[in-house]
Each structure stands twice: as C-alpha cells, then as structure tokens.
Amino acid sequence: MNASTTAAQATNRVLQIIFIYWVIKIAATTRGETGAAMVSMTFNIGYATTMLIFLSLFLLLLGAKLAIRKYEPAAGLAGLYLNGHCWHGDL
C-alpha cells in the first residue's frame, strides 16, 4: 500500500463517520422533539414544564450513568430494548 491509497482510505473513513454522526444527530433531535411535543400536548402542560421534565430526566439519567465507574454494556442494551418497545407500542 502506498501513501496516497492510505490517505484516500482515511479520508473515506472520515466521511463515513461524519455522515453517520449527522444521521444519528438528526434522528435523535427529531425523536426528542416529537416526544416532547407528545408529552406537552397529551398532558396539556406547556412548553416550559415539558422542558423542565425532560431536562430533569436527562440530568437524572446522566448522573446515574456517570456514577457507574466502569462500562456497562447492559445499560445501553436496556435503553435500546425499552426504546424499541416504547416507539412500537409494545409496552
């Protein structure tokens, strides 16, 4: 392998990572906005209250995750499992 081939592969990999990043960012933002709108409209509690609920939930879960001193793959898998069931109406 020569230097130009290695550089091209590295550039291609960076472009793949950037693309995946933006796909995940757009999907997460869309899901978050949809979930917040659903909570706000369902319970008729307004934007500010909904924002405080979601911010509190985020901080609570972030604190719990940071309190774990080692990597726990089960926590990520549990999140994926619950997310799939919540959005597909299985719960």
Q: What is the pLDDT of residue 90?
A: 52
| Residues 55 and 84 reside in one and the same domain | yes
Residue 47 C-beta-side C-alpha neighbours within 13 Å: 1
Residue 43 has pLDDT above 90, yes or no: yes
**Residue 60: both structure tokens together:** 């609570």
- Hey, what amino acid is at 22? W
First to last CA, the chain: 53
Residue 78 has pLDDT above 50, yes or no: yes
Instruction: Please answer whether residues 47 and 40 qualify as being in contact, where contact means their C-beta atoms are separated by less than 8 angstroms.
Output: yes
| Residues 28 and 52 reside in one and the same domain | no
What's the domain range around 63?
Answer: 46-91
Mean pLDDT, residues 2-31: 83
Residue 88 has pLDDT above 90, yes or no: no
Residue 89 has pLDDT above 60, yes or no: no
| Residues 38 and 53 reside in one and the same domain | no
Q: What length does the chain have? A: 91
| Residues 70 and 37 reside in one and the same domain | no
